[in-house]
Amino acid sequence: MKTLKNRKYVEWLNADIMHEASRNWLSELRFIKDEQQFLSNLIKSYTLQLIDASHFAESKKIVETLEALQKKNKKYIETVKTHENELLIMVDGIDQLQEEEAYRNKHRTLLVNINYYFKEYRKLKKQVFRTIEDIMKHEKQKRLLQ
């Protein structure tokens, strides 16, 4: 029974599927890189409001998390590019069972890590937008009261 499950999983991770997954990851990581630049610029445009005492602690945490995620994004882009280039081992027609299994294991690890990264990033993005929205509402209220 255990062998049957493993065989199905190994068949599921064929070269075409892994190639498509890698291309999707790379596309999404590049898009996130652009989004992160937008978020960084957005934060810079609201710097004065973000360093206000009421938002400072949260803003500092957001900026630190954004910087860390930008570094991770750069690392993952390079890792996925390398992983994509190493796909040759799966399609070269030569039976290299250990190398192919190592590649599949690396792919599974990347799958888990990158999906976790995407969740972290979405969480941060929501936090940035909520904070900026709160600042904008507060600014609008100030203008209406003056």
**Contact between residue 50 and residue 144 where contact means Cβ atoms under 8 Å apart:** no
Residue located via tokens 């100030």: 142
Question: What pLDDT, on a 0 to 100 scale, did the predictor assign at position 2?
Answer: 39
This prediction has a pTM of 0.82
Question: What pLDDT, on a 0 to 100 scale, did the predictor assign at position 146?
Answer: 64
Question: What pLDDT, on a 0 to 100 scale, did the predictor assign at position 8?
Answer: 44
All residue ranges of the chain with pLDDT < 70 are 1-13, 53, 146
> Would you kindly state where each structural domain of the chain is located, as residue ranges?
2-145
